[in-house]
């Protein structure tokens, strides 16, 4: 029996299918920019490397605000094709799978956090920063998500981390927001379309990295995590800078920070899709007991 995870990101769709503890496929669509409904459906199809049958349940990560029932996106800045769409109908139109269960809907940071917590056998409190087109965050205590506002621990991507002489305006309209510094679209505006090359050239003192360091220092005071992991397309490409960033974070860090905290990145682009499949399997097991 297969469990499918779909991660609708700000620049592409990623999918992963699990059978028990085994990941049986992963796939990614071509990149897009603010797709409409039709392009989004095509991208979900394109992300599937092959058709799979006997899908028991589906988990889906979506960026944006959900309605009170958690079944429809009411507002998504980076993926406007989601606005007003019932997610079950989107999946049906894209894949045509006969799945009787409603999809499990969650954000990418929580989904990635679930997969990383399980895969790395972590304990205690984990802070995940999902750095992609936008910036998402999740805090998990022994694998259970901390919820402060809606399904999130708060909107860490929108906190003001203003850097002197480097003013930005985030996608939410807020001045100095973290997403306005290190979101993929913000990086492309500042450094050009080859964001990967820009990240490779960074050494640590660039405004996006200084903003990230400031955000993590704030997070140590608010959440006091034992573990901090960067994931998403931007986050995993900062792996070589982890020692530099950690040194910057620790310089005069609040004594509230937990001794021995760890700092890592994810190691591939599919943590959220895999986590969404895991959550779908867990919720399916709960509903059938």
According to the model, what pLDDT value does residue 168 have? 95
Between 63 and 15, the more confident residue is 15
Report residue 288's pLDDT band, with 50, 70 and 90 as the boundaries: low
Among 6-20, 90-104, 148-162, 257-271, where is mean pLDDT lowest? 90-104
Other C-beta atoms closer than 10 Å to the C-beta of 286 total 8
Helix (H, G, I), strand (E, B) or coil at 184: helix
What pTM, to 2 d.p., does this model score?
A: 0.92
| Residue ranges in 5-145 assigned as alpha helix (H) | 37-47, 87-95, 108-119
Flag whether pLDDT at 189 surpasses 80: yes
Reported as a single tens digit per residue, the pLDDT across 196-253 is: 999 999 999 999 999 999 999 999 999 999 999 999 999 999 999 999 999 999 999 9
Average pLDDT over residues 135-151: 91
According to the model, what pLDDT value does residue 133 have? 87
Reported as a single tens digit per residue, the pLDDT across 83-112 is: 998 898 899 899 887 777 889 998 899 999
Domain with CATH 3.30.420.40 in the chain: 2-109+270-287, 121-265
Q: Are 28 and 268 in contact (CB under 8 A)?
A: no
Helices (H) and strands (E) in the chain, counts: 10, 12
Flag whether pLDDT at 287 surpasses 80: no
According to the model, what pLDDT value does residue 63 have? 85
Specify whether the backbone of 4 is left (phi greater than 0), alpha (psi in -120 to 50) or beta.
Answer: beta
Over the chain, what is the mean pLDDT? 92
Give the chain's length.
289
Other C-beta atoms closer than 10 Å to the C-beta of 229 total 25
Percent of the chain with pLDDT over 70: 99
Cα distances (Å, whole numbers) of residue 245 to 114, 128, 150, 197:
24, 15, 30, 19
Report residue 139's pLDDT band, with 50, 70 and 90 as the boundaries: very high
**Strand pairing category for 135-141 and 73-75:** unpaired
Q: What is the dihedral of CA 49, 52, 57, 58, to 10 degrees?
A: 20
Reported as a single tens digit per residue, the pLDDT across 239-276 is: 999 999 999 999 999 999 999 999 999 999 999 999 99
Flag whether pLDDT at 289 surpasses 60: no
Q: Are 165 and 172 in contact (CB under 8 A)?
A: no
CATH number, domain 2-109+270-287: 3.30.420.40
Between 289 and 48, the more confident residue is 48
What order of strands is seen across the sheet that includes strand 2-8? 22-28, 13-19, 2-8, 55-61, 104-106
The CATH number fitting domain 121-265, selected from 1.20.1250.20, 3.90.870.10, 3.30.420.40, 3.40.50.150: 3.30.420.40
Average pLDDT over residues 116-124: 94
Other C-beta atoms closer than 10 Å to the C-beta of 230 total 24
Question: From CA 186, how far away is CA 135, in angstroms rounded?
Answer: 11
Q: 235-271 burial, b for 16+ CB within 10 Å, e for fewer? A: bbbbeebeebbbebbeeeeeeebeeebebebbeebbb
- DSSP letter at 240 equals G
* CA 61 and chain centroid, separation: 8
Question: From CA 144, how far away is CA 104, in angstroms rounded?
Answer: 16
Cα distances (Å, whole numbers) of residue 111 to 138, 232, 234:
9, 11, 17
According to the model, what pLDDT value does residue 180 have? 96
Flag whether pLDDT at 51 surpasses 90: no
Between 78 and 177, the more confident residue is 177
Reported as a single tens digit per residue, the pLDDT across 122-135 is: 999 999 999 998 89
Average pLDDT over residues 17-42: 92
């Amino acid at each position: 029996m297969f469990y499918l995870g779909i991660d609708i990101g700000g620049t592409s769709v990623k999918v992963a299918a699990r059978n028990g503890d085994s990941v049986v496929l992963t796939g990614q669509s071509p990149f897009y920019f603010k797709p409409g409904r039709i392009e989004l459906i095509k991208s979900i199809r394109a992300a599937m490397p092959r058709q799979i049958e006997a899908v028991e349940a589906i988990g889906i990560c979506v960026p944006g605000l959900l309605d009170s029932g958690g079944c429809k996106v009411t507002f998504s800045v980076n993926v406007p094709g989601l606005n007003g769409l019932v997610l079950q109908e989107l999946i049906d139109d894209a894949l045509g799978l006969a799945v009787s269960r409603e999809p499990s809907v969650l954000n990418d940071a929580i989904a990635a956090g679930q997969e990383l917590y399980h895969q790395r056998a972590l304990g205690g409190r984990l802070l995940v920063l999902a750095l992609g087109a936008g910036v998402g965050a999740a805090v998990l205590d022994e694998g259970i998500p901390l919820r402060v506002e809606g399904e999130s621990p708060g909107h860490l991507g929108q906190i003001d981390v203003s850097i002197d002489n480097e003013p930005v305006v985030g996608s939410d309209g807020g001045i100095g927001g973290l997403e306005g510094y290190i979101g993929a679209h913000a990086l492309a505006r500042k450094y050009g379309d080859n964001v990967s090359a820009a990240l490779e050239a960074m050494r640590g003192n660039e405004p996006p990295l200084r903003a990230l360091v400031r955000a993590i220092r704030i997070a140590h005071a608010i959440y006091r995590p034992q573990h901090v992991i960067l994931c998403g397309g931007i986050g995993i490409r900062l792996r070589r800078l982890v020692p530099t960033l950690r040194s910057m974070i620790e310089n005069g860090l609040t004594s509230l920070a937990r001794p021995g905290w760890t700092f890592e990145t994810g190691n591939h682009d599919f943590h959220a899709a895999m986590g969404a499949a895991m959550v779908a399997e867990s919720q399916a097991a709960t509903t059938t007991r």
